[in-house]
Amino acid sequence: MVQQKRDKVVEAAYKVMAEKGYEKASIKDIANEAGITPGLIHYYFRNKEEILTDLLLASSQQYTQDMQRLQTSVPPAHLAKAALNEPKERVERQADWYKLRFELFALGLRNPQISDRVNALLDNARIGIEEILHKVVGSAGEEVDSVAAIMLACFDGLALQKLLNPEFDIDGAYLELEKMIRTRYNITE
């Protein structure tokens, strides 16, 4: 029951924060969207930052599950391309998710109380990328942890550029990133 209420608040928070932005979204707005009192939100969450971190961690875990399904449904020869295509398409599909992600990054830099949770979010993403790299390159990928960290930085950085400049050629950038990964690991398709 408690988890269901927390999930309901997180779902409402996503809708409100996506519409208004993190700064302008209030606990009262989130409570109204969830159909509960603001006091009840404080029973489940200490503050708005905790709601945002839960929201993005839940989304990240869902994304990880989606990527695991991708790994089982796409032949290994096509996995690299399919896995690179996913974060690129997510920028278009879930621009609000990225906007909230960047707001969380900024909060994590300023607020030591949530920096561990921001690190958990980044760790989850890196580990997911590492798993896919291991499937694609097999034993040839001794440094996949470092490459995964670089790829995550590329995904986030390219998303940020596209959000700030809709004319940015994200397709061209991802094509070059794919070439770099293919060259690094001698992947042919």
- Which tokens sit at 104? 């969380």
pLDDT tens digits, 1-32: 888 989 999 999 999 998 998 899 999 999 99
| Sequence ranges of the chain with CATH classification 1.10.357 | 48-185
Give dist(CA 158, CA 87) in Å, integer. Answer: 10
pLDDT tens digits, 62-116: 888 888 888 889 987 788 889 999 999 999 999 998 998 998 899 899 989 889 9
User: Quick one: which of 69, 185, 183 has its CA closest to 138?
Assistant: 185
At the topology level of CATH, where does 1-45 sit? Arc Repressor Mutant, subunit A (1.10.10)
Q: What does pTM read for this prediction?
A: 0.88
- Which tokens sit at 180? 């770099």
CATH architecture of 48-185: Orthogonal Bundle (1.10)
| Sequence ranges of the chain with CATH classification 1.10.10.60 | 1-45
| pLDDT value at 59 more than 90 | no
Give dist(CA 167, CA 22) in Å, integer. Answer: 25
